Each structure stands twice: as structure tokens, then as C-alpha cells.
Structure 1
């Protein structure tokens, strides 16, 4: 097996898979969302709806009630600008102030969106037998002391309150921290009646699936995910939610909605017993939610129920601090155990040089250097196999169509010449997982988003605007072919192999510049290694 041919065939298979996957996304029939009570929202928005005590009203049509402008408050910190709807106390809009929507743009990235095709809310409340969100009158309308809150210290507490005529007072407090994207949401429940009150915290993420996007060149996951004490990380895409509802119990864990570089997650208390579930709503909207344990509040007593909302970039170190396995939302796939240390190495190199493009070059040099021994063994083995081609041709002519005798004679020749026919395959099989793991590091790392490199490359997460890197990458592949010719006799196969650099150059035109830079540097290093190995083999009489 020829090294370059193997790399190209594996790469071609990968590109073919990505093309097929994107065709499925674009052309496969979409499931029809089930009709729920929400479909009658506009007709019944002013009417109270009778709701079961253990089903959050957030699922019902009342959630769509249109509040007046005075029913919102705005919170601004150094990291986020949030809009809270006092009807239910939900965060219906959240902008990430430290992340621009577009490169060099002034508009902050909108992670949570109030309405429209990109609707995306973080909802929380109290259900249960006496929870205000289980009231037949609809969701509670909280009151706030002011409509605008600005952070001026290390923390900012935003309290809103609700009181009903059954002796239940709820104070919902949002706690923001300077420099952070996690928000603690605390419910202080006071019972001034003479009867025990039963309440249950719920938290859910509501999103319109129409905004889910992916592409062939950036096949990133956009959907829901969760973690339980049994499953460290489980994805459930929007189509699965539209098809059927999930329901699973857990001690601890979390729920989340994931997009390319950002994640929104609700995190319960570490040892809290929760029930995780999903639900499809009309219009292509879905819910990912959890319910906590029922809490008894005795007369004259107060209880506190807490959840944590994270809404921000997929920074692995921060996510791992917030909850076990939350860092797995940086989705490296089955090779995560390789990708994670490679990312930390990339992060370390960036700390030394201060440029993500240079860090990519350095990590490629390090990885290729560490695998030089395998590469040398691979090329040497293939050189020996090429030297045996005349003898193999002679054996084939001798035994004609008797494949059994030909195979026996061929294995005897390999044994006599001390050549392992798999010697060229095993090294490449060991190298491919590392290269694929690096690929996913470059795709998933939010640190590369809008990262400058040099000259005309101002964003490593976007394609080269002038296509210089893809053209250079294609040229390097052509040089590699010339340095390592293949013994293929079939003219059709020869033509296909010759045009592979052209095909790959075309595909790489739309790849992010960081990925193309990685492949280009890898090819250049391979060329240098080939020249060194070929020179050494010629001295040993191998050509």
C-alpha cells in the first residue's frame, strides 16, 4: 500500500461521506411536528388554561402570551446583556458582549433570542401541587424594583418577586458574576399560610429547530444533549425530539442545547434527583428540560431551590469546573481522549506565541516529528515491496490462474526476503486517529473563532478569502505524488490518482483557513521527511 495513495483515498472517503451527509440534511423529508396545545396560542392567549400539577405551564399555550413592554427588565454585565420576561421570569434574550456576531462587527452574538425563527429561551419556575407555574391562571407575573440593572461590582443580584393569595411568596433571584457566563437562579419560597406547600423546580431550554445549521465543510452538531449518573454524555438531535419524547431519571447531571461554538445548559445541584425529558411543540419548537425533587415547605417556613444556567462559549476548562462531563459538549466524537490532550497542547503553544495560526503550525510540526519513526518504517517497508515487484510478476506468470499456489509462493518470498506486507499499512493506521483528532480540535475550538493569523488571514474559522492556502495545499499534494509514484497499471486509476490534488484543492476552497493551514503544513513536513527518508534508503541500496 502506498502511503500517499492511502491518505488520499481515506480523505476522499471522508469528503464523500460529508457530501452525502449534507445531501441528507438538505433533501431528506422532515418529520411533521406533533400538534400540541401551543398551536392555539394566538386564539387563547388571554384565557387561563387548566394544567396538571406536575406539568410545567411553560409547555402550555399561556407561555406564548404577549407581554407589554413594561413586563421586561434588562440586565447588563461585562459579559452578557440579558432580557428577562417578568411573565414567568424567563431569560428570553441574551447577547454575548465579548463575542461579535460577525468578524470586526459591533453587534454582540445573540445566543438567546426573544422571538422569530431563531427563538431560543431559558425558562425556569416552580411547579408541583402549589407551585405558581402550575396555577390554572397561568404563569406568575413577577414584579421588580427597577427595569434596568447594571453590574458595578464582582456580583450582581437581580431579584423579582411574586405573591399569591394562598400564602405563598416566591423571590426569584438571578446572580450574575463578573467575567463569567454562568448565572445562578435561586427561588426563595416562603409559606405564610397554615398548610404545607409542595413545590418543584423545573428548568428548560426552548428552541426553534429552524435555526439549526450545519454544512459539509463544517459538519458541526446543533441540537440537545444531556448527562446523567449513568451516561456521561448523550446527544439527542432535534429530529429525534420531534419523533418521540425522552424521559430518564438521574442523580445529578445536566441538560443543554448545543451549537457550533456555544452552549446553553441548566445544571441542577450535584446530588439532586431529577427527571430529564424532552417535548416537541408546534411550529418546529422543542423543549429540553429537567424537574427537580418535590420540596415540602411547612407553615411559617422558607425553602430555597437553586439551579445554574450557563450560556456562553464552549471553554473546556470552565465547563469542567461547572459540572462533570459538561466539557464533553466540545464534541470531539469518539476520539475525544486524543483530541483533549492535543487541544491542551495547542492551548499551551498559543500561550507561548500568542497567535493561534502559529500554534497550529507548531503542533503540526510536533505531531509529525513524534511520528517520524513510524513514517520512516512505513516508507522503508513500501520501498522493499516495490523492489519485489519484478519477482512477484514472475511468480504470477509462472502460476497463472492458480491463486492458491501463487499466494503460497508470494508468502514464501516475503518470508525469505524478510518483508512484512502489512509494514506499510500499520504505521498509517496508527497515524490516522491522531490526524483526525487534530481535525476535530480545529473544528470545535471556540478559541479559533475570529482568530487572526497573518497577512490576509484574519479569521482562522473562515475560508481563505483569496484561496491562497487551498491552492498551496493542492500544489503540495502534487509534489508528494511525484516524490512517491504508485505502481498502478490501470490507466483509469492513474488518471483518478493524478487528478486527486485538483479535487482536494476544490473541496478545500471552502474549508476554514485553520484546517487548510494544518493540512498544508502537514504536507510540507511530509515532503521534507520523504526527501530525507528517500536519501537514506538510496544509501542502503533501496530506491
Structure 2
């Protein structure tokens, strides 16, 4: 009996070895397929009753990935709090009853495993449900999710995280174990709720800062950067743009999420307004063919985080333009680089703002000097102008012509006093957009009571100081250039009070810039008029 039993076991063992040898030859380079399939099948069996989500924690991100489709349902930015009082991290992506903001991706096409229209998504299998990358010494963390199709083909979706990085690489690895060529297309899209009335209480002072532009944007080979608001998606026809390069994004103040495809073919950028009060923007690649017994990788990058311009620009061209600097971005960007350089020197964003204000004033000094000279020249002509007004009081046309002739004889251009102001306006506006839109100033402390340069002064001290400095600047100007008790002077004296009201709710960093600018203007005026009178 023992001999017979040993012979039986030996026969089974020999038959198994022969089968494995034959399978190895048929699979070629994919000799580990059966071993992988057994492990995957085992993990599927183990995960039947497990949680439907995977949690991944790095030093800067905490994300929740759904096993159904492998979509990112929630993303917390661990280095950015909602506000200074509550030390709770921002949820850039989130999924709840009232609000949805997800980063979805999958494989569509003739042999795709994802059907987004009917919500038929694959249920992936994983080795574990929690990945902690905070204290790891490895350079990257790979989170693989796998599924085996009916024909035996293996689909692996891997999320790759790196330390101190807000970019997540998403890689689809497809092994075709069927006898037919597989045709698939990779899709990456961002979905968000349009109407957020139910979240007004949370948004008013929240991290999301929806008070500015909230919408989508894209880049293609024809458009470096194009905003596309949710209202536009809802009212107009869906986008359908074919491009070899580019990206799609959803933007808001300080933060952005974006899909950047990494393939050699074309991609189609599209938008769609859904019936369930959501809108989406995404891309899909051209069809990719995988021959039988062969393997293909398809890659994409997902950015989920703050608008850090240098890092975003290194990931994809023009992605840094999602920082909303308005139509003066070409001036705001170099000014921000200068501000950042000053921050590296002083280590304080408030002092850096003061530094950039001083540099701006030095740059504008020649133009301001021309303005003061022009105003003094016009002032010296006031007696002659008054005589002309009295002489031709009944003939307005003749009066205007005589005043123009007087300016010509004295070689004075009245517009020369306005020209420096026109030059300064783009600089002031670009500084305004730069200080309002840079995430680096968010929750950045200055001194004493100013602990957040991106929010209003809690005690309104800076706006009051700004109004006082503006009043003294105007007073110095009128005392030198206007007649006493003129109507213009009386009207202009109300301006500081109006500006104080406006600036009460402006970010402290912006009010700091205007206050310092007014103080420097007073010093410039005093110095110029002293030299001029002397």
C-alpha cells in the first residue's frame, strides 16, 4: 500500500511538473503568470469581506481610494489646515451626501473594464487596506490594485506616491492572457458638485476659498491655458478637443487638482454636465492595442495639492498658470519670484512684502519725479490760467484754446503728470493679484497680531494705518500743488475714509503693501519738495 501510495503521489507530482513546463513555454517571458494568478485569486478570496476603501498616508497627503474602480474619494492635505484656530487638514477631494469632488480614472474602449455611463466598475483586490509612508526610508510607495478578467487577462492599477510630493503617478499594467488583441483607452477625469448652497456655512471661512474662481481649466497644443467655468460647461456644448499635449484641472483659490496624461499618442479633452448637479472635465487617450501574451503600461499623473508654481511647472508645461494672477500674470509671476527671493533672505513673508514695496518705489522713482515736476510747472501757470478764464469766461471754446496755447508756449504737457500713474497701475494690479493668489502667503505670520497675511487684520489696525498714511500723503501733495480750500481738495479728503472701509476685509498682506507704499510716497514727496523749494 505504501509503495502504491508513493507511486500515485510521484505520478501526480510528475504530471504537475510537465504541466508547468508546458505552460512556461506558452507564456514566454511571463513565466510567473500562474504564480501571480494564484496569489491574486487568493487575495480576492481574502478581501471578500474587507473594507471597500484603501487608505494611504504620506508625509503630505492622506487619500482614500475606493476599491470599486480605484477612484480617489478623499484627499487631505496634511500640511495645510482649514484655519489657524482648528488644526484640521484641508479636504481638497471629498465625498459625502451634499458634496462630491473626486479624481476618477479607468480603462474604457472595446475591451475596457470600466463603464462610467452605467456605473459598472471593476472591484479591485489588494494585499492590505492601509499603507503608511510617513516613516518609511524608501523613495516611493507603490499601491497595487489588481483584477483578473473572464479571459484570464490581468489588469493592475498602481498608485505611486513619493515623499513631499503632491503628484501621484497612476499606472495601468495590462497583461493580455487571451487569444485576441485587447483594445483599451485610458481615461482620467475630475468630478465636482456644481451647486454648493448646502455647504455655505462651511465654505465661508474654509480652506476651499470658493469666493474666487471655482471651475475647470485645460491646456492643449492650441491653448497654453484656458479657464472653463462650471456655468460655461452647463450652458454650452461639451468640449471635444484632440491634442498631443496638455492637461485638465479643477481650480480654486490656492489649490488645484489636475490630470496630466503621459503617453505618446493623442488625447481627447472633454467636459460634461451631469443631471445629478455635478460637472466633469477629463481626458481619454487614443486606443492602445495589446497583443496576445504581451504586456503594456499606460501612465498618467494626478496632482492634488497647493498651487506650488515651480513644482507644477516641472510636471507639465503651463500647469503653473492655474495660479489665478488674472490678465497681468506676465507681471505677477516675476514679481512673485522676486518676493520669494526676498523671503529666502529675510525668512518672513511680511518683511518680504515690505522689501518688494521698497524695490517697486525705487523703480518708479524717476516716473514719480517727472510727475512732481510736471505738477509744479502747471502750478506756476495758475495765475496766467486764471487770467485766461476771467478774460474768456463767456467763450468756453476760446478759453480752452488759449489754455492749450499757453501749455505749448511753456513746453508743458498736462498729461505728463498722469502718465506715471498710468505706468504704475499695471504694477499695482499685478502685485494685488500676486498677493491675493499665492498659497505661500496663506496662514503666513508677520508680527504680533498679524498671524495670517492672507486674511483680514483681526483688529483692523493696518487698514486704519493705511488710511492715515493716505491722508498725510494727499495733504502733502495738496499743500504744494493746489490752491487752499479748493473743491478738489475737499473731495479728495474723503478718499482715505472710503479706502479704510474697503480695506477692512482685504488680506493683511495687501494692506501692508499699500500702507508701506503710502509711507514711502510721503518720504518721496517731502524729499522732492524740499529740494525743489530750495
TM bucket by the smaller chain? Answer: 0.7 to 0.9
Q: What's 2:14 paired with?
A: none
What corresponds to 1:225 in structure 2?
Answer: 217
| Matched residue, 1:532 | 527
Cα distance in 2 for partners of 1:162, 1:503 equals: 65
Taking a change above 3 Å as real, the CA distance of residues 417 and 141 of structure 1, as seen in their structure-2 partners, is: same
Q: Which residue of 2 aligns with 1:297?
A: 290
| Counterparts of residues 121-270 of structure 1 (less than 5 Å) | 121-134=102-115, 138-151=120-133, 152=136, 153-211=138-196, 220-244=212-236, 245-269=238-262
Aligned residue among 418, 438, 445 for 1:425: 418
Match of 1:27 in 2: none
* Higher RCO structure, 1 or 2 (CA under 8 Å, sep 6+): 1
- Aligned to 2:262, what secondary structure does the other structure show? coil
Pairwise CA distance, 1:218: 9.5
Distance in structure 2 (CA, Å) of the matches to 1:214 and 1:494: 40
**1-side partners of 2:423 and 2:204: how far apart?**
30
Q: Is the deviation greater in 223-232 or in 130-139?
A: 130-139
User: What TM-score do the two structures reach when normalised by structure 2?
Assistant: 0.84
**Match among 384, 389, 402 for residue 396 of structure 1:** 389
Separation (CA, whole Å) in 2 of partners of 1:114 and 1:275:
27
Which residue matches 2:301?
A: 308
Taking the aligned partners of 2:158 and 2:477, their CA distance within structure 1 comes to: 67
Instruction: Say how many residue pairs are matched.
Output: 472
Q: Secondary structure at the match of 2:95?
A: coil
Residue 475 (structure 1) aligned with residue 468 (structure 2): yes
| SS at 2:494 equivalent | helix
Change in 2 beyond 3 A, CA 1:231/1:511: same
- Answer yes or no: is the 8 Å Cα contact 1:155–1:175 preserved in 2: yes
Aligned position for 1:345:
338
Please tell me whether residue 462 in structure 1 is matched to residue 455 in structure 2: yes
The alpha-carbon deviation at position 393 of structure 1 amounts to: 2.2
Which structure: larger Rg?
Answer: 2
Contact 1:214 1:222 in 2 (8 A): no
Kindly report the root-mean-square deviation, in angstroms, between the aligned alpha carbons of the 2 structures. 2.2
Partner of 1:502: 497
Q: The residue matched to 1:374 in structure 2 has which SS?
A: helix
Q: Is the alpha carbon distance of 1:515 and 1:327 closer, same or farther for their aligned partners in structure 2, counting shifts above 3 Å?
A: same
Distance in 2, matches of 1:327 and 1:509, equals 30
What TM-score do you get using the length of structure 1 for normalisation?
0.83
Q: Distance in 2 between matches of 1:490 and 1:272?
A: 72
Q: What's the counterpart of residue 119 of structure 1?
A: 100
Kept in 2, the 8 Å contact 1:174–1:183? The answer is: yes
**In structure 1, C-alpha distance between the alignment counterparts of 2:492 and 2:414, rounded to whole Å:** 22
1:315-360 alpha-carbon deviations (Å, 9 max, x no partner): 1100110000001011212211111111011000000010000100
Q: Match of 1:117, SS?
A: coil
The runs of 5 or more residues in structure 2 that have no matched partner are 1-47
Per-residue CA shift, 1:412-454, capped at 9, x if unaligned?
2112212111110111111111111111111011110110100
Secondary structure in 1 matching 2:415: coil
Counterpart secondary structure, 1:484: helix
Check conservation: 2:339, 2:352, Cα contact below 8 A. Answer: yes
Please state how far the C-alpha of 1:300 moved relative to its aligned partner: 1.1
Could you tell me whether the CA contact under 8 Å between 2:253 and 2:324 is conserved in 1? no
Match of 2:56 among 60, 70, 75: 75
Question: What CA distance in whole angstroms lies between the structure 2 residues aligned with 1:354 and 1:473?
Answer: 24
Unaligned runs of 5+ in 1: 1-66
Larger displacement relative to structure 2 (277-286 or 319-328): 277-286
1:409-420 matched pairs, under 5 angstroms: 409-420=402-413
Question: Residues 214 and 221 of structure 1 are in contact (CA less than 8 Å); yes or no, is this contact kept in structure 2?
Answer: no
Provide the C-alpha distance between the structure 1 equivalents of 2:475 and 2:52, rounded to a whole number of angstroms: 70
1:516 maps to: 511
Secondary structure (helix, strand or coil) at the match of 1:210 reads coil
